[in-house]
């Protein structure tokens, strides 16, 4: 579904991605792991069109994404839940969800809001509350709900469990798996490597802007280098 070949990208003279090659098959969960600063968020921004690659190929369902503006990337079926969630804190929960659908013109938006409420009942209870008054876990649910309002075929999740309590983390991972089982393909960036590899089908390891290892998630979880560097040696 998504193919990335030898992509380089960065910020001015900083080359954050040097050689990223990655493939996300339709229907799968692919996990991208790597240390702080390895280039994971940069990869997500490059896929969305927030950064333009300096080299390489980037295609989604056979169409090149290079030079495609962000709103068109969303229109093609890719949504990003960014690191740090970036929900609109001074808008209500409901308004945040409506923002996620602002590019749509079809008549099923209300129906989709109801589906988000069904998935996250707490958001229905708090629909008139300002986004900023929600707990961290609820804000993450809102950020995921907002991304789903664009009806993505491919959902990019950048550190969805960051800063959340263990029980909430378990909830978020369960929801990611459910969303995938209902037909959405997922590219997941996580520091929580153990849990990410548990739900993923495939995984890629990124080091200083390069893909150094990839394979089935269970094989990556058993790789001695991954165990030593990301799984506390266990």
Q: Which residues bind ligand ATP (CB under 6 A)?
A: 11, 14, 16, 34, 36-42, 83
- Between 33 and 134, name the residue whose CB sits nearer to ligand ATP: 33
Closest separation between CB of residue 119 and ligand ATP, Å?
A: 27
- Between 29 and 33, name the residue whose CB sits nearer to ligand ATP: 33
- In the numeric block, which tokens belong to residue 29? 């969960």
- Between 16 and 205, name the residue whose CB sits nearer to ligand ATP: 16
Cα–Cα distance between 34 and 57 in angstroms, integer?
22
- In the numeric block, which tokens belong to residue 48? 């969305």
155, β-bridge pairs: 79, 186
Closest separation between CB of residue 110 and ligand ATP, Å?
A: 36
- Between 58 and 94, name the residue whose CB sits nearer to ligand ATP: 58
Closest separation between CB of residue 159 and ligand ATP, Å?
A: 6
Cβ proximity of 191 and 212 under 8 Å: no
Closest separation between CB of residue 39 and ligand ATP, Å?
A: 4
Backbone φ, ψ for residue 9 (5° rounding): -160, 160
Cβ proximity of 137 and 144 under 8 Å: no
């Amino acid at each position: 579904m998504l193919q990335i070949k030898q992509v380089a990208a960065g910020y001015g003279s900083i080359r954050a991605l040097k050689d990223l090659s990655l493939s996300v098959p339709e229907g799968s969960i692919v996990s991208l792991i790597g240390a702080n600063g390895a280039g994971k968020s940069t990869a997500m921004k490059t896929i969305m069109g927030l950064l333009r690659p300096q080299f390489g190929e980037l295609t989604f369902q056979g169409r090149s994404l290079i030079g495609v503006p962000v709103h068109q990337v969303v229109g093609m079926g890719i949504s990003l839940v960014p690191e740090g969630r970036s929900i609109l804190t001074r808008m209500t929960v409901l308004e945040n969800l409506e923002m996620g659908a602002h590019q749509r013109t079809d008549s099923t938006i209300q129906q989709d809001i109801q589906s988000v409420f069904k998935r996250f009942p707490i958001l229905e209870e708090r629909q008139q509350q300002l986004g900023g008054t929600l707990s961290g876990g609820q804000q993450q649910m809102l950020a995921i709900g907002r991304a789903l309002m664009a009806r993505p075929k491919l959902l990019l999740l950048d550190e969805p469990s960051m800063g959340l309590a263990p029980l909430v983390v378990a909830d978020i991972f369960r929801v990611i798996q459910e969303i995938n089982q209902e037909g959405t393909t997922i590219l997941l960036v996580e520091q929580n490597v153990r849990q990410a590899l548990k739900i993923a089908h495939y995984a890629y390891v990124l080091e200083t802007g390069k893909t150094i290892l990839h394979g089935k998630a269970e094989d990556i979880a058993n790789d001695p280098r991954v165990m030593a560097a990301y799984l506390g040696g266990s």
